[in-house]
């Protein structure tokens, strides 16, 4: 065996060992995906469930009748649809619009109308997943209470 043959075989073996240790060499559809380009609709290999980082209004908070419900996660999640989020009030479900955050790590729920004053509201999230398909860690639901914080318009001054 020549020196050239010995070196090329040694390099091939070293490369093979490196690829095995790193988990593969690209997306081979067998679970060895190392793709990180989320713009192509693919995400890094991820076995961790997304976690809720913050919610507003917070559990048990006294909040405005003009409240927007904001939810933030520790990683990007798939777009949240109306059947995955609900805001329940004293008169049943509250209608509104879900607006995702630009970075994909949360969303805001904007009610179509003011919330009812002095009432308890319950927020429920279901079937939320990250880009790798991992479901949200169970958080249950949370409630907040509205107060009446809208001031009447200023009265005009009469001369």
Q: What is the pLDDT of residues 23-63, one digit of tens each?
A: 444 443 333 333 444 555 554 577 888 999 999 999 999 99
**Residue 124 DSSP class:** E
3 state SS of 77 = strand
**pTM beyond cutoff 0.85:** no
Q: Which residue has the tokens 């904001």?
A: 70
Residues found in the chain: 159
User: What is the chain's mean pLDDT, rounded?
Assistant: 78
Low-confidence ranges of the chain (pLDDT < 70): 1-44, 150-153
d(CA 70, CA 17): 47
Helix or strand run (H / E) with residue 53 = strand 52-56
d(CA 137, CA 140): 9
Q: Where do the domains of the chain lie?
A: 52-146
d(CA 57, CA 71): 9
Task: Write down the CATH number for the domain with range 52-146.
Answer: 2.60.40.3710
């Amino acid at each position: 065996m020549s020196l050239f043959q010995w070196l090329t075989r040694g390099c091939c073996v070293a490369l093979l060992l490196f690829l095995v240790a790193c988990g593969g060499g690209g997306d081979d559809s067998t679970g060895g995906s190392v793709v990180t380009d989320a713009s192509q609709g693919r995400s890094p290999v991820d076995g961790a469930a997304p976690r809720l980082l913050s919610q507003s209004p917070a559990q048990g908070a006294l909040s405005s009748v003009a409240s927007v419900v904001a939810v933030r996660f520790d990683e990007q999640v798939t777009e949240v649809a109306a059947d995955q989020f609900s805001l329940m009030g004293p008169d049943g479900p509250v209608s509104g619009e879900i607006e995702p955050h630009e970075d994909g790590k949360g969303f805001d729920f904007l009610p179509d109308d003011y919330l009812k004053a002095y009432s308890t509201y319950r927020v429920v999230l279901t079937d939320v997943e990250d880009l790798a398909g991992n479901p949200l860690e169970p958080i249950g639901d949370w409630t907040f209470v509205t107060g009446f914080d809208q001031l009447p318009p200023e009265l005009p001054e009469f001369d």
